[in-house]
Amino acid sequence: MRIPIESAGGYREPPIDWRSPAMLGRLAVVLVVLAFVAACFVTARVDPVALVRGMPRLFQWAATAWPPQLQELDTVALRAFETVAIATVGTLMAALIAAPLSMLVAANVTPAPRVGLALRWFANACRGIDTVVFALLFVAAVGLGPFAGVLGMIVHSIGVITKLNSEAIETLARAPLEAAAMSGADPVRIMSHAVFPAVLPNLASVSLYLWEANVRTSTVLGIVGAGGIGIEIKSAIDLLDFQRLFTLTVAVLVMVTLIDQLSAWLRRRLV
């Protein structure tokens, strides 16, 4: 397309043809997106008036939360540590399982593409279902307690770590892998000596990031009976004990902040 040139040596933008197929297609996309967003607002029943009416009641409840309840700090500390333990064990076990799975899923190194495809679907299923749902299922299987939370966190975390680590493997340069294959190394040796050392920093970084995310997730596992500080939070909400709820909320904030800082420090040292 020739851009009209002004006599003074400048240029003038070509006029927009609002009837062109490209412009009509863009307008159609914008209208579809706007309609989708509007439908989401309607379905979600967004009601600012209800929020304004409810704010005085919220402030009234918040006022009753002071001073915080400090009589059972030992129980709060125990539940907080239980929450960290659930996230730590769940993430650690998931990382150990996902490390070999991610190498089987990665399309550029898997020795069995069909098995890798099946494992990819399995990882997507684990990643697509939330930890709380898995924890609820394991509560029905093994009973109430933190073990159900650990199992639910393992399953979901396997999907997340496998997905992210396999994508990192697929970005590896092919030359070292081809050189290892030409030297006569079998697929197992290629994975253990060429692939795994190359993606170990990424695996560590992803696992640490997921660990801090799992700590935040595990705070609500107690709502479904899967252990952690969520049990105490649910009990405080059911009893409208806002002083205890305030204490538990502060404990969660302190715990999550410390874990975030520790995870960031470890990532800087390992990656």
The fourth-level CATH superfamily of domain 76-270 is MetI-like (1.10.3720.10)
DSSP code per residue over 163-177: HHHHHHHHTS-HHHH
Rounded CA separation 155/130 (Å): 10
Q: Degrees (nearest 5) of the Cα angle 150, 155, 159?
A: 140
Task: For tokens 């170990």, name the residue.
Answer: 200
* Residue ranges per structural domain of the chain: 17-50, 76-270
pTM of the prediction? 0.74
Provide the CB-side half-sphere exposure for 249 (13 A, CA). Answer: 12
Rounded CA separation 91/213 (Å): 10
Q: Which residue in 255, 239, 259 sits closest to 69, CA to CA?
A: 239
pLDDT number for residue 27: 86
Q: Are 229 and 222 in contact (CB under 8 A)?
A: yes
Q: Give CA separation, 17 vs 12, 14, 142, in Å.
A: 15, 9, 65
pLDDT number for residue 11: 61
Rounded CA separation 219/255 (Å): 10
Q: Are 227 and 82 in contact (CB under 8 A)?
A: yes
pLDDT number for residue 62: 72
Q: DSSP label at 111? A: S
Q: What is the mean pLDDT of each run of 10 residues along the chain (271 residues)?
A: 52 67 82 93 84 79 73 80 88 88 78 79 86 86 84 89 82 64 62 66 79 83 78 79 81 83 76 60
Rounded CA separation 193/175 (Å): 14
pLDDT number for residue 36: 94
Rounding to the nearest 10 degrees, give the CA dihedral for residues 88, 94, 97, 101.
Answer: -150
pLDDT number for residue 34: 94
pLDDT number for residue 16: 67
Rounded CA separation 88/81 (Å): 10
